[in-house]
C-alpha cells in the first residue's frame, strides 16, 4: 500500500466515529433556517453540506485543511529551484490534513507516474471531435469515456461492503488525476498546434511535466503548479464541487462524476469566467488599437458593459466579500514576473476602477475581483493565447479537490443527495397562511 493510502486509511478510521456520533446523537439538531428568497435564489448561504477538505470564509477567503493559501505555499515541499510547491503535496494535504514530508510527496509523485499512461481510445475520442469544438466539451468527453476503467464499478458489481467504497474510489481518483495533464495537453496540441505533441517526461512532477508537454520553459512549471493548487478546492457549494459530490452520491464512478463537474465548471458565471475576462479585454484592446487605456477610458468600457446588461467577468462572488486571495496570489506573481505585460496593465487598471463602479452600480454584493480576473493574463504572458483553453486548466486543478471530497464522502458513507422541492403554488399558499396568522 502507498504511504498516502495507508495514512488515509488511518485517518478515515479515526474520523468515522465523529460523523457517526453527530448523526446518531445530534441528527435532529437545527443548524439553519431557509427563506423563500434562498429557495428561489439558488440556495445561497443555506448551510446544508459538509466537507473537511476546505472552508471558505467570506472575508478571509479559502483555507485548505485549515491553512490559508500563503501558508500552503510556505509549508508544502517544493521541487529544487522552484518557487511553488509540488501539486502532489497538495493532494496529500487535502486527503490527510497533514503537511507531507519530502519523502511523502515523492511517494505520491511515484504513484502518479505509474498511472500516467492514457488508453489508446481516449486519443481516438479526442481525434474524432469536429473542428471548432470547445476544449471543455472535449475534456469532459475524454474523462467520461474512461468510465469503463472504473475499479469501483468492478468491485461494486462483484459485491463490496460500504466501508470499503473509498478504497477503489481512491484508486480511480489517482488513476484519473495522473492522466489529466496528458488529456489536456493532447487536446491543446490537437486544437492549436496541428496535433504536434510533446511526449510526457517520466522524470518530472505533475506541474513540471505539464509545462514540458505544453512546450513552455520556466517559470511555466511554477505557473502550472500555482494554477492547479489555487484552483483545487473552494468548499462544497460551488457549482463544480457540488456537481461532483452530487453525481458521486449516486455511486457513479469518479470518471462520470468528474466529467459532470467539468461540465458545471464550463459555464461563464463559474470557471469559464477566466476565458471571458480575456475575451472581454481583447475586445477593448482591439478598440484601443493596442494602446493602454487611461483610467477614464477603462471606466467608460466597464459602464458600457454594465449598461448593456452584462456582468463584469472576474468580479463578484456568491460567498466572498473581499478580494479573493487566489487573485492576490496571482497578482503578486504578476508583479514579480510580468509587471510590464500590457494585458497585466489592463488587469491592473481594472483592479482600481471596477470595485467603485460596481458599488455605484449597486447590484453586486461583492464588488471585488475573484480568481478568474487574474489567471488568464498569466497564461497569455507565457504564450497560451488560446483563451478557450483556460477553463481546462482550472478543471485539472478543481479535479484534485473534487476527487479528495468524493473519496471522503464514500469513507464517511454520506448517502445519495436528495433535497426536497416545492411548487410555486405551495410557496404562495404558505405565504398566505403565514400572513393570515399574523393578522390574527
Ligand atoms: N458584474 C455585474 N453585475 C454583477 C456582478 C458583476 N461582476 N456580480 C454580480 N452582479 C449582479 C448579479 O448579476 C445580480 O444581478 P440581478 O439582481 O440583476 O440578478 C446582482 O448583482 C446580485 O448578485 P450577487 O448576489 O452579488 O452575486 P451572485 O451570488 O448571484 O453571483 C457571480 C455570483 C460570481 C455569478 C456574479 O458575481 C457574477 O456573475 N460575476 C461575474 C462572473 C464571474 O466572474 N464568475 C466567476 C466567479 C468565480 C468562479 O466561480 N470561478
For 393-409, what is each residue's pLDDT tens digit?
999 999 999 999 999 99
Closest CA to 178 of 139, 151, 205, 218: 205
Block residue for cell numbers 512549471: 221
Q: Tell me how far the alpha carbon of residue 358 lies from the centroid of ligand 1, in angstroms.
A: 10
Burial (0-12, 13-18, 19+ Cβ within 10 Å), 194: exposed
Q: Respond yes or no: is residue 381 known to be catalytic.
A: no
Place of cell 477603462: 298
Protein residue closest via CA to atom 16 of ligand 1:
363
pLDDT score recorded for residue 420: 97
Q: How far is CA 243 from the centre of its chain?
A: 11
Convert the chain into a string of H (helix), E (strand) and C (coil).
CCHHHHHHHHHHHHHHHHHHHHHHHHCCCCCCCCCHHHHHCCCCCCCCCCCCCEEEECCCEEEECCEEHHHHHHHCCCCCCCCCCCHHHHHHHHHHCCCCCHHHHHHHHHHHHHCCCCCHHHHHHHHCCCCCCCHHHHHHHHHHHHHHHCHHHHHHHHCCCHHHCHHHHHHHHHHHHHHHHHHHHHHHHHHHCCCCCCCCCCCCCHHHHHHHHHCCCCCHHHHHHHHHHHCCCCCCCCHHHHHHHHHHHCCCCHHHHHHHHHHHHCCCCCCCHHHHHHHHHHHHHHHCCCCCCCHHHHHHHHHHHHHCCCCCCCECCCCCCCCCHHHHHHHHHHHHHCCCCHHHHHHHHHHHHHHHHHHHHCCCCCCCECCHHHHHHHHHHCCCCCHHHHHHHHHHHHHHHHHHHHHHHHHCCCCCCCCCCCCHHHHHHHHHHHHHHHHC
Pocket test for ligand 1, best of 311, 318, 358, 369 (most atoms within 8 A of CB): 311
Residue 290 has pLDDT above 90, yes or no: no
The pLDDT tens digits for 36-76 are 999 999 999 999 999 999 999 999 999 999 999 999 999 99
Q: Mean pLDDT across the stretch 225-232?
A: 98
Q: Render pLDDT for 4-45 as a digit per residue (tens, 0 to 9).
A: 999 999 999 999 999 999 999 999 999 999 999 999 999 999
Read off the pLDDT of each residue in 131-142 and give the average, rounded to a whole number: 96
Which atom of ligand 1 is nearest to 365's Cα? 26
Beta bridge partners of 54: 64
Cα-based torsion angle of the residue sequence 228, 231, 233, 238 in order, rounded to the nearest 10 degrees: -150
Distance CA 424, CA 429 (A): 9
Q: How confident is the model at residue 84 (pLDDT cuts 50, 70, 90)?
A: very high
Q: pLDDT tens digits, residue range 323-349?
A: 999 999 999 999 999 999 999 999 999
Nearest CA, atom 15, ligand 1? 363
What's the mean pLDDT in 86-96? 98
Tens of pLDDT, residue by residue over 380-390, are 999 999 999 99
pLDDT at residue 353 greater than cutoff 90: yes
Q: Is 317 a catalytic residue?
A: yes
Query: For a substitution probing ligand 1, which of 232, 316, 325, 368 has the most ligand atoms within 8 Å of its CB?
Result: 316
* For range 247-264, the mean pLDDT: 98
Instruction: Output the CA 369–ligand 1 centroid distance in Å.
Output: 11
Q: Residue range 148-161: average pLDDT?
A: 98
- Strand 61-64 relative to strand 54-57: parallel, antiparallel, unpaired? antiparallel
Pocket mutation for ligand 1, best pick of 270, 364, 368 (most atoms within 8 Å of C-beta): 364
Q: Which residue minimizes the CA distance to atom 4 of ligand 1?
A: 364
pLDDT at 440 over 90: no
176 in Cβ contact with 143 (< 8 Å): yes
Distance 11 CA to ligand 1 centre (A): 38
The pLDDT confidence band at residue 352, using thresholds 50, 70 and 90, is very high
- Ligand 1 centroid from CA 205, angstroms: 36
Ligand 1: distance of its center to the CA of 363 in Å? 9
Q: Find the catalytic residue in 317, 324, 381, 409.
A: 317
Which residue minimizes the CA distance to atom 45 of ligand 1?
Answer: 269
pLDDT at 102 over 90: yes
CA 70/CA 75 separation, integer angstroms = 9
305 to each of 309, 351, 357, 372, how far by Cα in Å?
7, 16, 11, 17
Which atom of ligand 1 is nearest to 240's Cα? Answer: 50
Considering the candidates 270, 324, 381, 409, report the single residue annotated as catalytic: 270
Lining ligand 1 with CB less than 6 A are 44, 238, 269-271, 273, 306, 311-318, 363-366, 370-372
Residue ID of nearest Cα to ligand 1 atom 31: 318
Asked about 227 being catalytic, the answer comes back as no
Cell readout for 152 is 469501483
Atom 2, ligand 1: residue with shortest CA distance? 311
For the CA of 314, the nearest atom of ligand 1? 44
User: How far away, in angstroms, is 78 Cα from ligand 1 center?
Assistant: 36
pLDDT on residue 1 = 82
Cell of 124: 481516438
Q: Could you tell me the CA-to-CA distances from 342 to 153, 338, 346 in Å, in that order?
A: 50, 9, 7
Give me the residue label for grid cell 511554477. 222
Going from the Cα of 373 to the center of ligand 1, the distance in angstroms, rounded, reads: 13
Amino acid at each position: 500500500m502507498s504511504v498516502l493510502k495507508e495514512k488515509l486509511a488511518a485517518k478515515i478510521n479515526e474520523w468515522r466515529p465523529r460523523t457517526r456520533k453527530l448523526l446518531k446523537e445530534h441528527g435532529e439538531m437545527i443548524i439553519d433556517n431557509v427563506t423563500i428568497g434562498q429557495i428561489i435564489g439558488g440556495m445561497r448561504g443555506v448551510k446544508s453540506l459538509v466537507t473537511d477538505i476546505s472552508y471558505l470564509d467570506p472575508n478571509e477567503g479559502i483555507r485548505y485543511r485549515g491553512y490559508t493559501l500563503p501558508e500552503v505555499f510556505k509549508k508544502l515541499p517544493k521541487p529544487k529551484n522552484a518557487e511553488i510547491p509540488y501539486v502532489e503535496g497538495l493532494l496529500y494535504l487535502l486527503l490527510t490534513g497533514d503537511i507531507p514530508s519530502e519523502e511523502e510527496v515523492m511517494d505520491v509523485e511515484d504513484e502518479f507516474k505509474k498511472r500516467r499512461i492514457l488508453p489508446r481510445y481516449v486519443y481516438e475520442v479526442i481525434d474524432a471531435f469536429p473542428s471548432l469544438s470547445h476544449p471543455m466539451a472535449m475534456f469532459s468527453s475524454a474523462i467520461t469515456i474512461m468510465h469503463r476503467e472504473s475499479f469501483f464499478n468492478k468491485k461494486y458489481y462483484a459485491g463490496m461492503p460500504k466501508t470499503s467504497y473509498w478504497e477503489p474510489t481512491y484508486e480511480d481518483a489517482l488513476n484519473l488525476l495522473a492522466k489529466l495533464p496528458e488529456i489536456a495537453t493532447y487536446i491543446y496540441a490537437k486544437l492549436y498546434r496541428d496535433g504536434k505533441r510533446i511526449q510526457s517526461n517520466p522524470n518530472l512532477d505533475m506541474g513540471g511535466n505539464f509545462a514540458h508537454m505544453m512546450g513552455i520553459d520556466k517559470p511555466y512549471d511554477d505557473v502550472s503548479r500555482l494554477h492547479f493548487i489555487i484552483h483545487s478546492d473552494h468548499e462544497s457549494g460551488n457549482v463544480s464541487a457540488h456537481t461532483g459530490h452530487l453525481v458521486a452520491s449516486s455511486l457513479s464512478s469518479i470518471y462520470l462524476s468528474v466529467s459532470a463537474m467539468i461540465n458545471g465548471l464550463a459555464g461563464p458565471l463559474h470557471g469559464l469566467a477566466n476565458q471571458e475576462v480575456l475575451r472581454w479585454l481583447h475586445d477593448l484592446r482591439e478598440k484601443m488599437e493596442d494602446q493602454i487605456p487611461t483610467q477614464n477610458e477603462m471606466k467608460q468600457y466597464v459602464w458600457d458593459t454594465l449598461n448593456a446588461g452584462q456582468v463584469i467577468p472576474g468580479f463578484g462572488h456568491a460567498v466572498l466579500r473581499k478580494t479573493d486571495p487566489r487573485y492576490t496570489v496571482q497578482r503578486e506573481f504578476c508583479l514579480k514576473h510580468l509587471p510590464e505585460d500590457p494585458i497585466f496593465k489592463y488587469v491592473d487598471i481594472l483592479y482600481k476602477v471596477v470595485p467603485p463602479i460596481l458599488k455605484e452600480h449597486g447590484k453586486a454584493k461583492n464588488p471585488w475581483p475573484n480568481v478568474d480576473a487574474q489567471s488568464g493574463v498569466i497564461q497569455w504572458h507565457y504564450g497560451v493565447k488560446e483563451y478557450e483553453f483556460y477553463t481546462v486548466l482550472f478543471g485539472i486543478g478543481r479535479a484534485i479537490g473534487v476527487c479528495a471530497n468524493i473519496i471522503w464522502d464514500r469513507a464517511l458513507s454520506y448517502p445519495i443527495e436528495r433535497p426536497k422541492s416545492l411548487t410555486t403554488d405551495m410557496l404562495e399558499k404558505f405565504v398566505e397562511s403565514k400572513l393570515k396568522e399574523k393578522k390574527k
